[in-house]
């Protein structure tokens, strides 16, 4: 990423008041594992969860928009205090527009992290869009910022830390752990 692109991404991240995450390929590695009874299993990374909680502590609301439906995602969202959960959504733009209306914020005040083509209708509307290095090339090329870590392996934490730094809150988020 060039210095100019990094500065632009930082300015965009500074405006984020709502950060929205996709699930498969962002909060998970994108793999689908099936249990003996046919249940779908997903693995989430604890670093991502703590990063989301840190954003919330600094008044950045968080949401999930996912095309798939899973009780596991409901549980994970509840564990993280994410009340804005939209699952089974194939028109992510419509779900995004509903969130804007509910919260009374603009698209420019939102961030989104996605990895596949279904994420583009939101990614192209938000003020700050992020992706993962293993995302579809069309998605990755349109992202303002790309994590170093792959989805499900700390990518969401990286974007949370990036937003906290851009907004001047990273040191305050770190301070309680250094006393």
Q: Is the pLDDT of residue 33 over 90?
A: no
CA distance 52 to 159: 9
pTM of the model: 0.96
Paired tokens of 101: 């209306």
Which residues have C-beta within 8 Å of that of residue 113, sequence separation ≥ 6? 19, 20, 21, 22, 26, 129, 130, 131, 132, 155, 156, 159
* Mean pLDDT, rounded, for 37-57: 93
**pLDDT confidence tier of residue 37, bands split at 50, 70 and 90:** confident
- Looking at residue 38, its pLDDT comes to 79
For the stretch 100-120, pLDDT in tens is 999 999 999 999 999 999 999
CA distance 53 to 50: 5
Domains of the chain listed by start with CATH number:
3-177 (3.40.50.1000)
- Looking at residue 31, its pLDDT comes to 87
Question: 40-41 and 33-34: which strand pairing?
Answer: antiparallel
Instruction: Please answer whether residues 167 and 55 qualify as being in contact, where contact means their C-beta atoms are separated by less than 8 angstroms.
Output: no
- Looking at residue 39, its pLDDT comes to 79
């Amino acid at each position: 990423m060039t210095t100019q692109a990094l500065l632009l991404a930082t300015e965009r991240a500074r405006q984020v008041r709502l950060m929205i995450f996709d699930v498969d390929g962002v909060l998970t590695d994108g793999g689908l594992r099936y249990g003996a009874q046919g249940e779908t299993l997903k693995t989430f990374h604890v670093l991502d969860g703590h990063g989301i909680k840190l954003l919330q502590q600094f008044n950045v609301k968080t949401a999930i928009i996912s095309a798939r439906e899973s009780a596991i995602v409901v549980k994970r969202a509840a564990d993280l205090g994410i009340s804005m959960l939209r699952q089974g959504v194939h028109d992510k733009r419509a779900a995004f527009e509903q969130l804007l209306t509910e919260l009374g914020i603009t698209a420019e005040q939102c961030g989104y992290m996605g990895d596949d083509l279904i994420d583009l209708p939101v990614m192209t509307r938000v003020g700050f869009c992020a992706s993962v290095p293993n995302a579809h090339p069309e998605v990755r090329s349109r992202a303002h910022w790309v994590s170093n870590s792959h989805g499900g392996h700390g990518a969401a934490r990286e974007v949370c830390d990036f937003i906290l730094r851009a907004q001047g809150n990273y040191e305050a988020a770190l301070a309680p752990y250094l006393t």
